[in-house]
Chains A and B, each alone.
Chain A
Amino acid sequence: MTVHQISIFVENKSGTLVKVLDLFKEAGIQLIASTISDTVEYGIFRVICSEPMKAKEVLDAAGVSSSIADVFAVTLENYPGTAADAISFLSRAGIGISYLYSFMLSGKGILIFRTDDPAGTADVIRRQGMSVLDDDSLLSLV
């Protein structure tokens, strides 16, 4: 019910992002979506890509700190209000969102998020009949 996201711990310094992207390029890994959280203390570069496990291996070999996280990828119909509805189901169940980002793929809106209660989130998704992606179904949209 989840997709694999790579979270990369990057130094807040010019050139570090390029280094990571070059590693992906050399390994032939395609970026599908990414976001950078730029808190003062830590730079975390979160990436959804074509081959997350391979990406992790490539980063490990290059000595880049990273971890794999399971995140939810919900698909939404492309009209106003769908995101608000999806998130309100979670908040009504008392589930907090740690981070969220969204993008469009093949005409569909996709919300990527992580919550403080993965089991509860899965429950809400099932009950509400929300449409979620896994690694394979996400890749098939690319």
Chain B
Amino acid sequence: MGDTSFLHPQFEALSRTEIEALQTERLHNTLLQCMKSPFYRKRFEENRLSPEDIRTPDDLVKIPFTTKQDLRDNYPFGLSTVGLDEVVRLHSSSGTTGKPTVILHTRRDLDQWADAVARCLYMVGLRPGDIFQNTSGYGMFTGGLGFQYGAERLGLLTVPAAAGNTRRQIKFIMDFGTTAIHAIPSYAGRLFEVMEEMGIDPRKDTRLRTMVIGAEPHSEEQRRRIEDMLGVKAYNSFGMSEMCGPGVAFECREQNGMHIWEDYYIVEIVDPVTLEPVPEGEVGELVLTTINREAMPLLRYRTRDLTRILPGECPCGRHHKRLDRMKGRSDDMMILKGVNIFPIQIETVLMQFPELGNEYLIILTNEDANDKMTVEVELKEFHDDYPRLQALTREIARQLKDEILITPEVRLMPKGSIPTSEGKAVRVKDLRKTLI
């Protein structure tokens, strides 16, 4: 039966039938709640819909999607279903691609959010007595407070180390005996590098054994590298500020897909172009409906994250559906010579070469209407052996061709020449000019 110790057995141990019954009930309440928001009232009127038309989760398709643009257009409080006197927290996105967005929480919303995160951390084996260090930025970024409240809810000693200052992070790990850490995957490599510089062997000299990684799409190979480097079990976490933040979906100890908490969300996977549901098990855009939120419920929210539902039962005993690791975003998909390519596909190939480091950059250019891809990747160990370098370059290009169907130019780069970006790693540089 695997891990049967659930933090919330009343929700985690539900059968499929029970989950669906709970969803139907909570969806009904959510629709009534939505009618208190100016945005959804108008939208339902425009589409001649009423909450009574949506009886079960299957009826959701009648409702138009909610998009990030809707959040922007109704900035800051247009989607609120409660008076501001009931709202106790506000998180706002940076708005790098336009107007910012706002997510509001009542006291109950924060309470439920903390429970979800606590459930996730408990699921991977963390218990009171564990020392949990959170390297997320605090403030508007939900990975900070989200993990803080969830870990405290579970009773972990929670260190709000926040982002940056790697030497200080390592000092905390050593001094406090940190047993679990939350970081974005690219930062795990940085931690290891600096530990090496400081002469610290994470396996021998620290008590780290659990790592929570998320926020950046990463491959299975990258997870294994992180686990090997730091001597930890690394669990994938999925969250987004529109759905609270962390705690939406999380891997159990099977490390095979992230259980999405279906007592909080109804999941759909749709084709990002036709917006029709994809067949069971196929990749598409994740669409979520919140069914356990007061201040700002969202119906059929287009996350832009691409994933699929893993078929089959999880040996852990939970029947909450499992999301596959994120395949990228429906909006960072590259189309080259008519071929759809995701950066994660390229990363997966590169990570199979032990000669290569973790940093890479995909550069897209076009000359005479011909798209060209250049992949720059760091060489881990340099040997002055030209034929070997050439053979390696050719082999990388060949394997990439197998994966993405076009042949990129591969450039091996000296260590440190590809900048490690803070936060979400920038992997694609699209320098293509519009030719028309």
Chain B, residue nearest A5 (CB):
B384
Q: Report yes or no: A7 in contact with B415, Cβ–Cβ below 8 A.
A: no
Residues of A within 8 A of B384 (CB): 5, 7, 44, 46, 67, 69
Q: Whole-angstrom distance between the alpha carbons of A65 and B384 in the complex? A: 10
Q: Report yes or no: A98 in contact with B415, Cβ–Cβ below 8 A.
A: no
Q: Whole-angstrom distance between the alpha carbons of A103 and B383 in the complex? A: 24
Given contacts A9-B379, A67-B383, A69-B384, contact A42 B389 (CB under 8 A): yes
Task: Check: A22 CB closer than 8 A to any chain B CB.
Answer: no
| CB contact between A65 and one of B379, B390, B411 (< 8 Å): that residue | B379
Q: Report yes or no: A11 in contact with B415, Cβ–Cβ below 8 A.
A: no
Count residues of B near A (Cβ-Cβ below 8 Å): 16
Chain B, residue nearest A44 (CB):
B384
Q: Whole-angstrom distance between the alpha carbons of A41 and B376 in the complex? A: 10
Q: Report yes or no: A65 in contact with B393, Cβ–Cβ below 8 A.
A: no
Q: Whole-angstrom distance between the alpha carbons of A46 and B414 in the complex? A: 15
Residues of B within 8 A of A66 (CB): 382
Q: Report yes or no: B416 in contact with A63, Cβ–Cβ below 8 A.
A: yes
Q: Report yes or no: B393 in contact with A64, Cβ–Cβ below 8 A.
A: no
| CB contact between A67 and one of B382, B390, B415 (< 8 Å): that residue | B382
Task: Check: B159 CB closer than 8 A to any chain A CB.
Answer: no
Task: Check: A95 CB closer than 8 A to any chain B CB.
Answer: no
| CB of B194, distance to nearest CB on chain A (Å) | 12
Chain A, residue nearest B384 (CB):
A7
Q: Whole-angstrom distance between the alpha carbons of A115 and B17 in the complex? A: 73
Chain A, residue nearest B383 (CB):
A67
Q: Report yes or no: B416 in contact with A41, Cβ–Cβ below 8 A.
A: no
Q: Report yes or no: B414 in contact with A65, Cβ–Cβ below 8 A.
A: yes
Interface of A is mostly: strand
Task: Check: A58 CB closer than 8 A to any chain B CB.
Answer: no
Q: Report yes or no: A41 in contact with B383, Cβ–Cβ below 8 A.
A: no
Residues of B within 8 A of A65 (CB): 379, 381-382, 414-416
Task: Check: A125 CB closer than 8 A to any chain B CB.
Answer: no
Chain A, residue nearest B415 (CB):
A65
Q: Report yes or no: B412 in contact with A41, Cβ–Cβ below 8 A.
A: yes
Q: Whole-angstrom distance between the alpha carbons of A93 and B412 in the complex? A: 34
Given contacts A9-B379, A41-B393, contact A98 B386 (CB under 8 A): yes
Residues of B within 8 A of A10 (CB): 414
Binary interface encoding of chain B residues 369-408 relative to chain A, with 1 for a CB under 8 A from any of its CBs, else 0: 0000000000101111010011001000000000000000
Chain B, residue nearest A61 (CB):
B197
Task: Check: B229 CB closer than 8 A to any chain A CB.
Answer: no
Given contacts A66-B382, A69-B384, contact A9 B411 (CB under 8 A): no
| CB of A62, distance to nearest CB on chain B (Å) | 9
Chain B, residue nearest A39 (CB):
B386
Task: Check: B4 CB closer than 8 A to any chain A CB.
Answer: no
Q: Whole-angstrom distance between the alpha carbons of A75 and B390 in the complex? A: 31
Residues of B within 8 A of A5 (CB): 384
Residues of A within 8 A of B383 (CB): 67
Q: Whole-angstrom distance between the alpha carbons of A10 and B417 in the complex? A: 9
Q: Report yes or no: B382 in contact with A11, Cβ–Cβ below 8 A.
A: no
Q: Report yes or no: B414 in contact with A64, Cβ–Cβ below 8 A.
A: yes
Binary interface encoding of chain A residues 93-119 relative to chain B, with 1 for a CB under 8 A from any of its CBs, else 0: 000001100000000000000000000
Q: Whole-angstrom distance between the alpha carbons of A34 and B413 in the complex? A: 21
| CB contact between B412 and one of A42, A63, A69 (< 8 Å): that residue | A42
Residues of B within 8 A of A39 (CB): 386
**Central interface residue in B379, B381, B384, by most chain A CB within 10 Å:** B384
Give A8-33 interface residues, CB cut-off 8 Å to B: 9-11, 13
Q: Whole-angstrom distance between the alpha carbons of A58 and B230 in the complex? A: 27
Q: List 27 A-B contacts (CB under 8 A).
A: A5-B384, A9-B379, A9-B414, A10-B414, A11-B417, A13-B417, A41-B390, A41-B393, A41-B411, A42-B389, A42-B412, A44-B384, A44-B386, A46-B384, A63-B416, A64-B414, A64-B416, A65-B379, A65-B381, A65-B382, A65-B416, A66-B382, A67-B381, A67-B384, A69-B384, A98-B386, A99-B386
Residues of B within 8 A of A (CB): 379, 381-384, 386, 389-390, 393, 411-417
For the complex with contacts A46-B384, A65-B414, 15 further pairs of A-B residues with Cβ separation under 8 Å are A5-B384, A9-B382, A9-B414, A10-B414, A11-B413, A13-B417, A39-B386, A41-B393, A41-B412, A42-B389, A42-B412, A44-B384, A64-B414, A65-B382, A67-B384
Interface pairs A-B: 3 shortest CB-CB: A7-B384, A65-B382, A9-B382
